Structure formats: C-alpha cells, structure tokens
Amino acid sequence: MCGRVALFTPPVRLAKLLDAALAAGVELEGHPSWNVGPQRRLFAVTENNGERILDRYRWGLVPSWAKDASLGNRLFNARAETVAEKPSFRSAFAKRPCAIPVDGFYEWDHRPGKNRQPHFFTRVDGAPMIFAGLYEHWRDPESPDAPLRATCTVITTTPGEDMDEIHDRMPVVLETSDVDTWLNVLEVSADERLALLRPATANTLHHHGVSSSVGSVKNDGPELIEPLEPQSLF
C-alpha cells in the first residue's frame, strides 16, 4: 500500500517537470508538507486534447456512481493487477489516468524480527517521483447544484528490489519518459498502459529509517524525513 507521502517541491516546479500548466487557483509555491495522508490534497497532472494541467485532487477516489463520498476513504490505492476490471477503477483506468508527483513516500517495516519503523523512500537521482494514478469527478446526488469533487488514487504493484522486503506492495513509479504513454488513452492500448504498472527497476529508489512521529498526520515538518537509526526490539 501507499498511504503517506511527502510533498514539498513547489507546484510550479512540478508542473515544469511534467510539461504541464498550472490550473487556476494553484499557487506557484504551494504549501509544503512532509506528512500527507489520504483525504488530504495531492497534485496530479491530467491530459485533455493534448494539453496537460496540474491541479489539486483529494486523495481517495470517489467513483462517479458512488452514493456518498465516504467510499473514497477506502480507495486511496488501486491494485495494478485488477485496476482495469474492478468496478471502482475500470472506468477511470480506461478514460482518466493521471500522473501524481511527490517527493517521497513512507512505508512501515514489515520484515520479521525488525522493529516496525517507518522508512522514507525517495529517488536515487534526487528528482521528485511520479506515481501512476487515476482521477474521478463526483457530485453529491443529494445536492445536484454542488460543485464537482475531484479525487484521485495511487496505483500500487508488487515490490521491486529497492523495497528491501520492507513491504509487500509499492506505488507504481513512472519514469518521465513513460508519462506520455500512461496518459494517452486515445492512441495507446490498454495492454500497453497496463505494462507500465510494474515495480521500479533496481537502483531507482533508496530509503532510510525515520521517526515514528510520521504516524500521526498532526505532525509535519522537514524533521520527519531526517534519518533515524532503527531502535532495538530488545
């Protein structure tokens, strides 16, 4: 799973990385956070008629047919193995992919005999990483005049070597060269796009242990990503 990320690179730089324009209302510098969890805002890039836009999306996908928004509380991740068929995601996979830039993600150590310490994963090259994601727009059926709610989910896959067996899932990390293929639903087949939903190649990511303070979204700040030696179990 992927349920906690750091997002502190300014939106204007994320948009440049993905060759996108900023949506109206998105501040150039944004509001950096080192502890973003589900139901908080992520940035995502979408493509329509050849134009890419970076906008804000609530993390936790709410399908257009959902009766209420609470379904999004469970749909912050989508499994690559079933994303094209599962009712909650198949329409978004076919029509509404997005690229979600973040600075890093956290995963808790699940290895036998290890302390359940959070680890912070980043790209080896220091660049922001780009998750494969999906987005939806939802309107409350009880309030037809209410504005559309924009939501998104992060796609996960089996772990690559860089996960070091810390967890049995990892987010799909796209290379910038793959973003065109992922977003191009009109000219690229579903099978070609599904082929991108694989573990990151070895030596793409690295990680280090961090403080358990990241376990509460009330805590935020750059100190959360500072390396911390694992504590002994004994």
Say yes or no: domain 5-225 is CATH 3.40.1050.10: no
User: What letter does residue 140 receive in the DSSP assignment?
Assistant: -
Predicted local confidence at residue 234, as pLDDT:
39
Whether 107 is a known active-site residue: answer yes
pTM of the model: 0.95
Domain boundaries of the chain, sorted by first residue: 5-225
Catalytic residue from among 2, 47, 98, 152: 2
Return phi, psi of residue 193, to 5°: -70, -40
Catalytic residue from among 47, 98, 107, 152: 107
Is a pLDDT exceeding 60 seen at residue 131? yes
Predicted local confidence at residue 171, as pLDDT:
98
- Where does 19-60 show beta strands of DSSP type E? 21-22, 33-36, 41-48, 51-59
Which 3 state secondary structure label does DSSP give 174? Answer: strand
Task: Tell how far CA 43 is from the center of its chain.
Answer: 9
Cβ atoms of 82 and 155 within 8 Å: the answer is no
Return phi, psi of residue 91, to 5°: -70, -45
Indicate the pairing of strand 33-36 with strand 5-7: antiparallel
pLDDT in tens, 37-64: 999 999 999 999 889 999 999 999 999 9
Predicted local confidence at residue 185, as pLDDT:
97
User: What are residue 102's DSSP bridge partners?
Assistant: 129
Whether 98 is a known active-site residue: answer no
Mean pLDDT value of segment 9-28 = 96
DSSP H helix total and E strand total for the chain: 4, 14
> Predicted confidence band at 233 (pLDDT cuts at 50, 70, 90)?
very low
